[in-house]
Amino acid sequence: DLRYINTFHTIVEAGGFNKAAEKLCYTQSTITFHVSQLEKELGVQLFEKAGRHMVLTKAGQELVPYVENVLQSVNNMKSFRSVIEECQGDIRIAAPESLLCFHLPKILREFRKQAPRVHIYLDSMTSTSVYRAIRENKTDIGIFYDLLVDDATIKVVPYKDFDFVMFASPKIKKLYSDFITPNQDFSSLARICQPAVGRVRKRFDEYIKSKNFTMGPTIEIRGTQTIKNLVKNDMGICFLPKFTIQEELDKDVLVEIPIDKKFEPIHAVYAYRKDKWLSPPLKLFFQLLEQYKSLED
């Protein structure tokens, strides 16, 4: 019963049974009854006599932080409606397509649950374009890869590191099983990749060059989902952050190709202008990013 918990807390805060009775407008007998009921429910003695005064027992002292947490949660629940009503308006989020399509949806789903009245605007663009959009105040928050930000007006927060994999369809891997031995001829095999300006593409090119592989014509396209579909249809091999294909790997629709080079993970950050007003929707989105950043994809 929350009344018993509140009475206990008031006794502690006010400094005695009589003062708590005055503050709560209860009789002395009501205060005593609440305490006895709470002690009965918990199975411990909370107060004991010390001369003419009642003082907390050891169990009573240890209970205090738990009671404070309960009452704080109750206060939060009472203000829940006003918080939700306050959390409305717009939020604009910019990110590369890989993050926007394969990482952020679960965060956006939770955001939508907690802030159903907020309009969400999503912009898919390269990391460089995300940074530019933040700088020009065209987005509220940007999430991007591997960029050195040298701008005192922008707040940058480390987010997550993502590993890479080279992958193909099971059929292609069966036909071309060795991507470690140098100087091989893969001229009948296409590499499917994003435009050369992308940081993922640079890692792909680096590995092919280090092995002196002869590759077939390149299929170049920006969309990560389209790249995956082409690879599924035995069009060639690709190199992407692992989280973008984890579902297909788990189902054996796509398979990882072993390579003998360990690439540094690609580092993602989120950023916003320091002079940006941190609206309730924006604060909520920051909180969700922090909650999800330690979770595995």
Residue 214 sits at φ, ψ, to 5 deg, of -95, 115
Side-chain half-sphere of 173: how many Cα atoms within 13 Å?
Answer: 16
Q: What whole-number distance in Å separates Cα of residue 46 and Cα of residue 61?
A: 8
Neighbours of 55 (CB within 10 A): 12
Class of residue 64 by CB neighbours under 10 A (exposed 0-12, middle 13-18, buried 19+)? middle
Cα distances (angstroms) measured from residue 44 to each of 12, 15, 48: 17, 20, 11
Per-residue pLDDT of the chain (297 residues; tens, 9 = 90+): 788 999 999 999 888 899 999 999 999 899 999 999 999 999 999 998 888 788 899 999 999 989 888 888 787 676 655 555 666 788 999 999 999 999 999 999 999 999 898 999 999 998 889 999 998 989 999 999 877 777 888 999 999 999 989 999 999 999 998 999 999 999 999 999 888 766 778 888 889 999 999 999 999 988 899 999 999 999 999 999 999 999 999 999 999 999 998 888 889 999 999 988 888 889 999 999 998 887 765
Quote the tokens at residue 78: 């009472």
Beta strand pairing status for 154-162 and 266-273?
antiparallel
215: nearest Cα among 251, 283, 168: 168
Report how far apart the first and last C-alpha atoms of the chain are (Å, whole number).
41
pTM: 0.65
Q: What whole-number distance in Å separates Cα of residue 77 and Cα of residue 271?
A: 31
Q: Are 119 and 90 in contact (CB under 8 A)?
A: yes
Q: What whole-number distance in Å separates Cα of residue 211 and Cα of residue 214?
A: 9
Query: How many angstroms from the chain centroid is the CA of residue 162?
Result: 13
Ordered by where they begin, the domains of the chain are 2-78 (1.10.10.10), 86-161+266-292 (3.40.190.10), 164-257 (3.40.190.10)
Query: How many angstroms from the chain centroid is the CA of residue 74?
Result: 26
Quote the tokens at residue 192: 């499917």
